[in-house]
Amino acid sequence: MVKKIKKYSQGEPLAPWREKIHEVIFEADTPYGRLFDALLIAAITLSVIAVMLDSVESVKAQYGGILDVLEWGFTLLFLVEYILRLISVRKPLMYATSFLGVVDLISILPSFIGLIYAGAETLLVIRVLRVLRVFRVFKLAEYLGEADYLMRALRSSRRKISVFLYTVFIFVVVFGSIMYLVEGEENGFTSIPKAVYWAIITLTTVGYGDIVPQTHIGQMIASTVMIMGYAIIAVPTGIYSTELAKVYKQSVTNHACLSCGEDGHDQDANFCKYCGEQL
Amino acid sequence: MVKKIKKYSQGEPLAPWREKIHEVIFEADTPYGRLFDALLIAAITLSVIAVMLDSVESVKAQYGGILDVLEWGFTLLFLVEYILRLISVRKPLMYATSFLGVVDLISILPSFIGLIYAGAETLLVIRVLRVLRVFRVFKLAEYLGEADYLMRALRSSRRKISVFLYTVFIFVVVFGSIMYLVEGEENGFTSIPKAVYWAIITLTTVGYGDIVPQTHIGQMIASTVMIMGYAIIAVPTGIYSTELAKVYKQSVTNHACLSCGEDGHDQDANFCKYCGEQL
Amino acid sequence: MVKKIKKYSQGEPLAPWREKIHEVIFEADTPYGRLFDALLIAAITLSVIAVMLDSVESVKAQYGGILDVLEWGFTLLFLVEYILRLISVRKPLMYATSFLGVVDLISILPSFIGLIYAGAETLLVIRVLRVLRVFRVFKLAEYLGEADYLMRALRSSRRKISVFLYTVFIFVVVFGSIMYLVEGEENGFTSIPKAVYWAIITLTTVGYGDIVPQTHIGQMIASTVMIMGYAIIAVPTGIYSTELAKVYKQSVTNHACLSCGEDGHDQDANFCKYCGEQL
Amino acid sequence: MVKKIKKYSQGEPLAPWREKIHEVIFEADTPYGRLFDALLIAAITLSVIAVMLDSVESVKAQYGGILDVLEWGFTLLFLVEYILRLISVRKPLMYATSFLGVVDLISILPSFIGLIYAGAETLLVIRVLRVLRVFRVFKLAEYLGEADYLMRALRSSRRKISVFLYTVFIFVVVFGSIMYLVEGEENGFTSIPKAVYWAIITLTTVGYGDIVPQTHIGQMIASTVMIMGYAIIAVPTGIYSTELAKVYKQSVTNHACLSCGEDGHDQDANFCKYCGEQL
C-alpha cells in the first residue's frame, strides 16, 4: 500500500552526506525524516497564518513589525530548505520543475520581489500559495495510503463525474435562461450569465439570497431547481461511494491463496480463511 | 457495454457518399467521426458563450457587431450540418422529429426569425437552448458507457425516488400551511403557496433568507424543517448508491446463457437462473 | 414483497355489493380499483391546489366564486367517498379512528364548519391537510413494495439516527451558547434559544443570513460549525445507505435452494444458480 | 455487541448498599437502573430548557422567580446525584476527573458561584453545558451498540477524513486569497481571513449572503467553488458509507478463534486468518 517514493534515488549513489540529507528531507520513514516533516508542516501553517493576519488592517497597524520579521524568518528558513533539496536530489532540474518544486520556490520569492516592487496585495496572495506545501503532509506514512486510496476512487469515477457535470452545466444554462425571460432585468436577472449564476447558487443549495425570484412563475421554477438540486446531489455521492467500495474490495483481493486459489482475504490475513494454508 | 447506435443504418444501404457523411456525422468510432464530434462540441460551447455574452448590456454595447457576425457564422455552420444530417440519414423525417433533431433545428431558426420579428430576449433564450446539443458528447465512446450506467441506476430507482418526492411534497405543503397560520402575512408568509415556497427553500437547505420566520414558534418549526431536510437528504442518496452498486454488480456479469439467451447472472453462478442450464 | 392489505376482509363475508365497493375503494389490484385510486389522487391534488390558490389574495378577489364552488364540489365528493368507505368496511369504527380515516374526515369538515364559524385562515390550513390523503398513492401496487422497502430501512436505522440526532442536539446547544457569549445581543444573538436557532441554520447548511456572526472569534467558531455540518451530513447518509443495502440483500436471500441449501438468489430466479435445481 | 462498562466494579467488592447504589446509578441493565437513567435524562433536558428560557429577556422578566426556584431544585438534585456517584464508585477520584465526572460537577457549580459572582451570561452558558450529560443516554442498552457502531466507523475513517479536511483547508485558503485579490476591500473582502471565511460559507453550501462577489470574474470563481462544494460533499459521505459497511460486515462475524482468540473473521471463513486453526 505505502509506496516509497524512489524517484530521486535510482542510478549511481549520492555522496553519503547528500544521501543523509535526502533521507531526512524527502522521506518520512526514518525518525528524523518524520520529525523534519512535522516541523516543516508546523512552519508552513504558522507562516500562512502570519501572511493571513498581515492582510488584516488592524493587525498590520499594530503588529506589522513583528509580522515582517516573522516573514523574513520563514523566507530564510524555506530558502535554506530549498537549497538543501536542490543539493540532495540527483536531478535538481527535475525537482525544480515539479509541481511541489515550483510551489517551494514560490514560497521564497515574494519577500525578495517585495524589495523592488510594491504590489502589496498581489504579493500577499502569492505568499499565501505556500499553503499548497501542506500537501507534503500526505507523504507521511499514515496518510500516504489513505490519500492514494481516495485518489484512486476519484480517478476511476472521473468520467462519471464528467457526465454529471456536463448535465449540471446544461441544466443551469437552460434554467438560468428561462428565468432571465420570466423574471427580467427589473428583478435582478440582468443578463443570461447572471441568471445562470443564480441557477448555480440555487442548484448547489448555497442560496446567498442576493438574487431571488419575485414573480409567482419564477418562484415555481426556482422550487423545481431547488428540489432537483436537493435530489441530484445523490448522483456524485452515489458514484463516489460505489467507486470507494470497489477500490476497497480490490485492495482486499490482491492476493489469492496459493493452495486453493481463493481470494478475498483481508490485508492482515496470514492464513487462507478457506483452506487454512499460509498465504 | 458500449452499444453502437444503429437506428439509421438498417435496411437497404445508403449511397457510399451518404454512408460516408453518415459515418462522420452520426458515429464516433472512426477518427473523422471523433474529430467531427469534438469540433462540433467546441462550436456549440463557443456559440452558447457568445449568446450569453450578447445578453450582457455592456458587452453588447461594445462588441455587438462582432457577436452578430459570430452568431451568423455559427448559424450557417449549424445550417450546413443540419442539411448534411438530413441528407445522410435513411429516414430524414424520423431524425427531424427526434428530440435532438428538433434541438438541431431550434439552433438555426432564431437568427432567421430575428430578421422579421423583434422579440430580442425571447430569441436570445431560444438560441441558448442549443446548449442541449452538448448532450451529443455522451455519444463519444468514453462517455457512452458511463452515461448509460448512470441512467440505468436512475431508471431502476425511479419509483423509490417518486415515493421520496411524494413524501417531500406532502411534507412541504403541511409545514408551509402551518407556518402560514403561525407567522401570518405580516412576517412575509402572505399566502399558502408562498409559505410552501419557504418550506421548499428551507427543506432543501438552500436558505435564501428572503422569507424568514420571526416568531418564536415559527423559528422552532423552522428548526424542525431544517433538521428534517438535513437528515432526509440521506434517502435519495442511499437509494441511488444502492442502485448504482446493483447496476455495477450486474455489469460485471454480462455473460448470457447459451440456452435461453438471458443475461444478468451473478459472477458466482454456475447455472442459468431462468432455465437451469449450465453456464 | 407486495403484501395485500387484508385488515378489513377477515371473518364473516360482507354482502356482495359491499364487497364490491370495498374492492374498488380499498384495493388497488383490480382495474376499477386502480382507476378509482388514480381519480381520487387527481381529485385530492386538484382540491389542494384550489385551497392553496384560495389563500392568495389576488386570486381570491378575482376567482373567489369559482373556488367556492370547486371546494363544495370536492367536499361533497369526499363526503360520498367517506360514506362509501364506512359502509364497505366490516369495522367502520376501526376505519374511522385510523390515521387515514381521521384524515378522510378532516377533508370534509372545514366546509361545513365554515358555515357557522369564521376563522378563515385556520379552516384553510385544515383543508390543506387533506394533502395527507396523497399517502394513499403508496397503496398502488407499483409503489407499495418501494415504500415498504424504504420504510424498513428507515425503521432499522431508527436508533442510529436517534444517536445522530442526540449528538446534533447537544452540538447545537453547546455551540449556540458559546456564540451567545461571544457575539452577544448587539450582534443579533439576543438569547440562547436564538443562538441555538442560528447554530441549527448553520449546521444544516441552510444559511438564511438573518443572524450572522460579526466578531472575528464568532466567525472562526461559525467556520468550525459549517465544516462540521458539511462533514457530518455523511453520518445519516452512510447509515441509511448501509441499511438500504442490508434490506436489499435480505430481500435477495429470502429463498434458499431446497436441493443444495444455498441462498442469495435473485428475486426473479427460477433455478438455483449453484446446482441448477428448480427453486 | 453491548459491552457492559466494568471500569468501576473490579477488585474487592463494595459494601452491598454502595453496590446497590452503583447498580442503579451507573448501570442500565436493571429495571431501577433504566428508570433512573430515564428520569435523569428528563431532568437534564428540563433543566437545560429552563436555562435557555432564562436567557430570553421577556421570559425572565415574567417568570424569573419560577426559573430561579427550578434552577435551585435541579442544582440540589444534581448535587445529591453527584455525591451518590462519588460514594458508590470504588475510585472516586478517577470518576471525578473523567470527562463525564467533570461535566457532572460543572452542572452544579454555577448556581453556587452565582451567589458570590455576578457574570450572569457566562454562568448561564456554563449551566447550559450540562446538556453534555445527555451523552449518558448512550449508556442505555438500546443505544450503546449503535453509538459504538457509529464511533468505530468514525474512528477507522479518521485518517481519510483528515486527508479530506486538509484538502478542504488548502482549497479555501487558495480560493479565498484569489477572491481577496479579485474582489478587493470595496466588495466586502476586506482581508484574507475574511475571504477565507467567505470561501468556507460558499464551499459548505451554507451561503449566508453577508459577503457576496460583485464582479463578473468573482462570480465565475464563486460558481466554481459552489460546484466543487456541491460535488466534493460526496467524499466524506463515500468514506463514511464504506467504513460503516465494513464495520457492519465485521460485526456480523464476531466469532473469535478458539486457538489464538482473535476475532474479525469473515462470515464465510473456515479457518482463522491469523493462526490458521479451524474455526
Task: Please state the three-class secondary structure of B16-77 as a single string.
Answer: HHHHHHHHHHHCCCCHHHHHHHHHHHHHHHHHHHHHHHHCCHHHHHHHHHHHHHHHHHHHHH
- Say which residues have a Cβ less than 8 Å from residue B117's Cβ, sequence separation at least 6: B123
Q: Is residue D1 part of a domain?
A: no
Q: Assess whether D118 and D166 both reside in one domain.
A: no
CB B229 within 8 A of CB B205: yes
Q: Is residue B148 part of a domain?
A: no
User: What are the tens digits of pLDDT across the range D59-104?
Assistant: 999 998 999 999 999 999 999 999 999 988 888 899 899 888 899 9
> Cβ–Cβ of D209/B209 closer than 8 Å?
yes
Distance from CA of A237 to the nearest CA of C (A): 9
Q: Is residue B231 part of a domain?
A: yes
Q: By residue range, what is the domain housing residue C225? A: 158-253
Q: What is the CATH number of the domain that holds B218?
A: 1.10.287.70
Query: How much is the average pLDDT of B255-262?
Result: 60
Pick out chain D residues at pLDDT < 50. 1-9
Query: How much is the average pLDDT of A20-34?
Result: 82
Give A181's contacts in chain B (Cβ within 8 Å).
121-122, 125
CA dihedral B22, B25, B28, B34 (to 10 degrees): 130
Distance from CA of D161 to the nearest CA of C (A): 9
CB A148 within 8 A of CB B89: no
pLDDT value of position A174: 95
In this complex, which of A209, A237, A241 lies closest to C209 when CB atoms are compared? Answer: A209
Q: Which residue of A has its CA nearest to C205?
A: A206
Tell me phi and psi for residue B46, to 5 degrees. Answer: -60, -45
- Say which residues have a Cβ less than 8 Å from residue A235's Cβ, sequence separation at least 6: A164, B150, B240
pLDDT tens for chain C, residues 1 to 279: 344 444 444 556 678 888 888 888 887 778 888 888 889 989 999 999 999 999 998 999 999 899 999 999 999 999 999 999 998 888 889 989 988 889 999 889 888 888 887 777 788 888 999 999 888 877 777 788 888 888 888 888 888 888 899 899 999 999 999 999 999 989 999 999 999 999 999 999 999 999 999 999 999 999 999 999 998 899 999 999 988 888 887 776 555 566 666 655 555 566 666 666 666
Residue B89 has pLDDT above 90, yes or no: no
User: What are the tens digits of pLDDT across the range B190-209?
Assistant: 999 999 999 999 999 999 99
Q: Assess whether D128 and D172 both reside in one domain.
A: no
In this complex, which of B170, B222, B274 lies closest to C131 when CB atoms are compared? Answer: B170
Q: What is the CATH number of the domain that holds D51?
A: 1.20.120.350
The count of structural domains within chain A is: 2
Give A208's contacts in chain C (Cβ within 8 Å).
209
Tell me the three cell numbers of residue A265.
482475504
User: What are the tens digits of pLDDT across the range A166-212?
Assistant: 899 999 999 999 999 999 989 999 999 999 999 999 999 999 999 99
Q: Does A202 contact chain B (CB < 8 Å)?
A: yes
pLDDT value of position D136: 79
Q: Assess whether D37 and D135 both reside in one domain.
A: yes
How far is the C-alpha of D192 from the C-alpha of A122, rounded, in Å? 12
Q: Does D163 contact chain A (CB < 8 Å)?
A: yes
Interface of C with B in 95-154 (CB under 8 A): 121-122, 124-125, 128-129, 131-132, 134-135, 137-138, 142-143, 146-147, 149-150, 153
Tell me the three cell numbers of residue D128.
447550559
The strand pairing partners of D271, in sequence order, are D278
Please give the residue that has the higher pLDDT: either B72 or B135. Answer: B72
User: What are the tens digits of pLDDT across the range B91-127?
Assistant: 889 989 988 889 999 889 888 888 887 777 788 888 9
Q: Is residue A113 part of a domain?
A: yes
Residue D119, number of CB atoms within 10 A of its CB: 13
In this complex, which of C128, C201, C245 lies closest to B226 when CB atoms are compared? Answer: C201
Q: In whole angstroms, what separates CA C250 from the centre of its chain?
A: 24
CB B242 within 8 A of CB C241: yes
pLDDT value of position B124: 86
Q: Which residue of A has its CA nearest to C216?
A: A56
Q: Is residue D62 part of a domain?
A: yes
What DSSP letter does each residue of A91-159 carry, written as one string?
A: -HHHHHHSHHHHHHHHTTHHHHHHHH---HHHHHHHHHGGGGGGGGGGGSHHHHHHHHHHHHHHHHTHH
Q: Is A52 helix (H, G, I), strand (E, B) or coil?
A: helix
Residue type, D63: Y
How far is the C-alpha of C149 from the C-alpha of A139, rounded, in Å? 44
Q: Is residue A269 part of a domain?
A: no
Closest CA to A240 of A143, A151, A147, A142: A151
- Say which residues have a Cβ less than 8 Å from residue A108's Cβ, sequence separation at least 6: A75, A78, A79, A82
Q: Assess whether C82 and C187 both reside in one domain.
A: no
Q: Which residue of C has its CA nearest to B228?
A: C204
Distance from CA of C208 to the nearest CA of A (A): 8
> Cβ–Cβ of C146/B160 closer than 8 Å?
yes
Which of A25-39, B175-189, D58-72 has the weakest average pLDDT?
Answer: A25-39
Closest CA to B49 of A190, D221, A174, A193: A193
CB C137 within 8 A of CB C41: yes
Angle among Cα B43, B48, B54 to the nearest 5 degrees reads 125
Interface size B-D, in CB pairs within 8 Å, comes to: 9
Q: Is residue A88 part of a domain?
A: yes
Q: Is B233 helix (H, G, I), strand (E, B) or coil?
A: coil
Q: Assess whether C119 and C221 both reside in one domain.
A: no
Q: Assess whether B96 and B65 both reside in one domain.
A: yes
pLDDT value of position D38: 85
Q: Assess whether B25 and B105 both reside in one domain.
A: yes
Q: Assess whether B111 and B50 both reside in one domain.
A: yes
H or E element in which residue A59 lies: helix A57-88
Q: Does D241 contact chain B (CB < 8 Å)?
A: yes
Burial of D205 (0-12, 13-18, 19+ CB in 10 A): buried
In this complex, which of C178, C205, C239 lies closest to D204 when CB atoms are compared? Answer: C205
pLDDT value of position D117: 78
Residue of D230, D232, D259, D274 to mutate for A, most A C-beta atoms under 10 A: D230
Q: Assess whether A112 and A208 both reside in one domain.
A: no
Percent of chain A with pLDDT over 70: 85
- Say which residues have a Cβ less than 8 Å from residue D38's Cβ, sequence separation at least 6: none
Interface size A-D, in CB pairs within 8 Å, comes to: 181
Burial of D173 (0-12, 13-18, 19+ CB in 10 A): buried
pLDDT value of position C18: 85
Q: Which chains touch D (3 or more CB pairs under 8 A)?
A: A, B, C
pLDDT value of position B26: 82
Q: Does C215 contact chain D (CB < 8 Å)?
A: no
Interface size A-B, in CB pairs within 8 Å, comes to: 139
pLDDT value of position D118: 72
Per-residue DSSP letter, D14? P
Residue B132 has pLDDT above 60, yes or no: yes
pLDDT value of position D1: 38
pLDDT value of position C124: 87
Tell me the three cell numbers of residue A17.
552526506
pLDDT value of position A5: 45
> Cβ–Cβ of A192/B135 closer than 8 Å?
no
Burial of B140 (0-12, 13-18, 19+ CB in 10 A): middle
pLDDT value of position C199: 97
Q: Assess whether D167 and D205 both reside in one domain.
A: yes
Interface of C with B in 7-36 (CB under 8 A): none
CB A161 within 8 A of CB B146: no
pLDDT value of position D264: 55
Distance from CA of C175 to the nearest CA of B (A): 15
Q: Is D214 helix (H, G, I), strand (E, B) or coil?
A: coil
Distance from CA of A174 to the nearest CA of B (A): 6
Q: Is residue D38 part of a domain?
A: yes
The complex scores an ipTM of: 0.85
Tell me the three cell numbers of residue B138.
455522451
How far is the C-alpha of A148 from the C-alpha of A132, rounded, in Å? 18
CB C195 within 8 A of CB C172: no
pLDDT value of position C88: 87
In this complex, which of C181, C223, C235 lies closest to D197 when CB atoms are compared? Answer: C223
pLDDT value of position D194: 95
pLDDT value of position A79: 94
Q: Assess whether A122 and A236 both reside in one domain.
A: no
In this complex, which of D125, D205, D241 lies closest to C181 when CB atoms are compared? Answer: D125
Q: Assess whether D84 and D177 both reside in one domain.
A: no
Which of A153-167, A195-209, A221-235 has the weakest average pLDDT?
Answer: A153-167
How far is the C-alpha of A233 from the C-alpha of C275, rounded, in Å? 42
